[in-house]
A and B are shown apart, each in its own frame.
Chain A
């Protein structure tokens, strides 16, 4: 990482590359630090959208996954719809949503949600259906009903799968938020990138990109940490072979 930045810095200085084409890391830092209150404000705006979209993904995906896993008929009815939402480019959808819902936070959160939720649904469904038949049979032998089976056996079993879905969703939430901000926003890092580039303030745009990357990493790590703290048996459990 450090070497990369050093080579970058050196190359820019040595070849005299002009700043609006490729700014040196030092220039990026300087440009970003000089307006840090504004940058912070934009970062918080983006963070709000990211967390809102991520939360919406979780709230919708988990019940949806349970519904899909509950019966092949429901699955056959819902999956094509979900695939349709994934085939529509969100960049194309964003302006339509903004016209329909107004230029406020709601369309941005919806776009973020649309970008992020799918892997979470797919992961959770996979986990619910991957429950070993022996565990299901154990539940049946203990006279567990369908709801009990879902909540006490299938759902806990799916936790490692849910968390791999959550990690992907966390990273995608950042992407979704920026897509939404590119199309219609008056704040946020996506908005900052667009306005900076419009005025050839390339270093500041690069600074915003770096912050976005950091946000993604941070959110991903937060999910990983939550998994280790609250579900210690889950981390690596899906892959770990049983002790022989």
Chain B
């Protein structure tokens, strides 16, 4: 459903020197598939995500959704950022419905749907709270609800749990999986945590930095539903080691 074909991106730096962020990235994501993207910082993961979101245009190659080139932000994609990026002046409920209201897609059932999602995310009773009254984890849950209420067919997540503490992070990963299992949208999930990527994804795309390229694609053979018990399994270790070797092997080769 998402098809990246030989995508490259070159930014012009502040000093006018072009910086190549991505080179020759090709990737196919099927409908309902969960794909994680891992890599060291500066490997263009976020740029890749923003291209699929239609926020950044590719310099070379094509990004297509359902065979249609992505020219700008589309209704069937929704994005979760690293920071919750909630509107400080709106309460939780209005934050969740904000994108739909902004796109004039809010209808009679919107509020009901938002409440139901908040309920699933463990935020029932917090609908009229302001973001600053919530903890970081709760704020990020609101941000995820805000993306899901749009009923996207593609969910783009840019290190959504990056700013959370380790415990909240694990809890949120499983919650995200539950929400995804109930809806079955395609997910493109950028992270720098290898265990997180293996636990969540069907496939893990490993990227190498400067310029960002696809170094490897690892199929995760763990059965679903996933749980943290699987972290002890051989398959989990095999995937994690392969990803780690790919990332650090390159670094070691570069240092030599």
Using a CB–CB cutoff of 8 Å, the interface residues on chain A facing chain B are: 132, 134-135, 137-144, 148, 152-153, 156-157, 159, 231, 233-234, 237, 240, 242-244
Q: Can you list 10 pairs linking A and B with CB atoms under 8 Å apart? A: A132-B85, A138-B99, A141-B55, A142-B102, A143-B75, A153-B87, A233-B132, A234-B89, A237-B132, A243-B134
Q: Please state if B72 and A244 are interface contacts (CB–CB under 8 Å).
A: no
Shortest B249–chain A CB gap in Å is: 34
Complex Cα spacing A137 to B135, Å: 23
Q: Please state if B89 and A142 are interface contacts (CB–CB under 8 Å).
A: no
Q: Please state if A242 and B139 are interface contacts (CB–CB under 8 Å).
A: yes
Complex Cα spacing A23 to B132, Å: 52
Closest 8 CB pairs of A and B: A134-B85, A142-B99, A142-B102, A156-B89, A143-B73, A141-B79, A233-B89, A141-B73
Q: Please state if A141 and B53 are interface contacts (CB–CB under 8 Å).
A: yes
Complex Cα spacing A144 to B134, Å: 27
* Residues in B whose Cβ lies below 8 Å from that of A139: 102
Per-position 1/0 for B133-158, Cβ under 8 A of A:
11110010000000000000000000
Tell me, yes or no, whether B130 is within 8 Å of chain A by CB.
yes
Q: Which residue of A lies closest to B79 (CB)?
A: A141
Complex Cα spacing A135 to B95, Å: 12
Q: Please state if B132 and A156 are interface contacts (CB–CB under 8 Å).
A: no
Q: Please state if B88 and A237 are interface contacts (CB–CB under 8 Å).
A: yes
Tell me, yes or no, whether B255 is within 8 Å of chain A by CB.
no
* Residues in B whose Cβ lies below 8 Å from that of A140: 55, 73
Complex Cα spacing A157 to B85, Å: 12
Q: Apart from A157-B89, A233-B89, A242-B132, what 13 extra A-B contacts exist at CB < 8 Å?
A: A132-B85, A134-B81, A139-B102, A140-B55, A141-B54, A141-B55, A141-B77, A141-B79, A152-B102, A157-B87, A233-B132, A244-B135, A244-B136
- Checking A135, A137, A144 against B55 with a beta-carbon cut-off of 8 angstroms, the contacting residue is A137
Q: Which residue of B lies closest to A156 (CB)?
A: B89
Shortest B98–chain A CB gap in Å is: 8
Complex Cα spacing A231 to B131, Å: 14
Number of A-B contacts (CB under 8 A): 66
Shortest B250–chain A CB gap in Å is: 30
* Residues in A whose Cβ lies below 8 Å from that of B182: none
* Residues in A whose Cβ lies below 8 Å from that of B121: none
Per-position 1/0 for B44-86, Cβ under 8 A of A:
0000000001110000000000000000110101110101010
Using a CB–CB cutoff of 8 Å, the interface residues on chain B facing chain A are: 53-55, 72-73, 75, 77-79, 81, 83, 85, 87-89, 98-99, 102-103, 130-136, 139
Binding site secondary structure of chain B: loop
* Residues in B whose Cβ lies below 8 Å from that of A144: 102
Known: A140-B55, A140-B73. A135 touches B135 (CB 8 A): no
- Checking A134, A152, A233 against B88 with a beta-carbon cut-off of 8 angstroms, the contacting residue is A233
Q: Please state if A231 and B89 are interface contacts (CB–CB under 8 Å).
A: yes
* Residues in B whose Cβ lies below 8 Å from that of A132: 83, 85
Shortest B51–chain A CB gap in Å is: 13
Q: Please state if A243 and B133 are interface contacts (CB–CB under 8 Å).
A: yes
Q: Please state if A138 and B132 are interface contacts (CB–CB under 8 Å).
A: no
Q: Which residue of A lies closest to B74 (CB)?
A: A143
Complex Cα spacing A40 to B133, Å: 46
Known: A233-B130, A243-B133. A138 touches B81 (CB 8 A): yes
* Residues in B whose Cβ lies below 8 Å from that of A243: 132-136
Looking at A140, A153, A234, which has the most chain B CB atoms within 10 Å of its CB? A140
Looking at B83, B132, B133, B135, which has the most chain A CB atoms within 10 Å of its CB? B132
Q: Please state if B88 and A157 are interface contacts (CB–CB under 8 Å).
A: yes
* Residues in B whose Cβ lies below 8 Å from that of A134: 81, 83, 85
Complex Cα spacing A148 to B104, Å: 11
Complex Cα spacing A134 to B80, Å: 10
* Residues in A whose Cβ lies below 8 Å from that of B77: 141
Q: Please state if A138 and B85 are interface contacts (CB–CB under 8 Å).
A: yes
Shortest A183–chain B CB gap in Å is: 42
* Residues in A whose Cβ lies below 8 Å from that of B75: 143
* Residues in A whose Cβ lies below 8 Å from that of B88: 157, 233, 237
Q: Please state if B136 and A242 are interface contacts (CB–CB under 8 Å).
A: yes
Complex Cα spacing A141 to B103, Å: 10
Shortest B55–chain A CB gap in Å is: 6
Complex Cα spacing A131 to B36, Å: 30
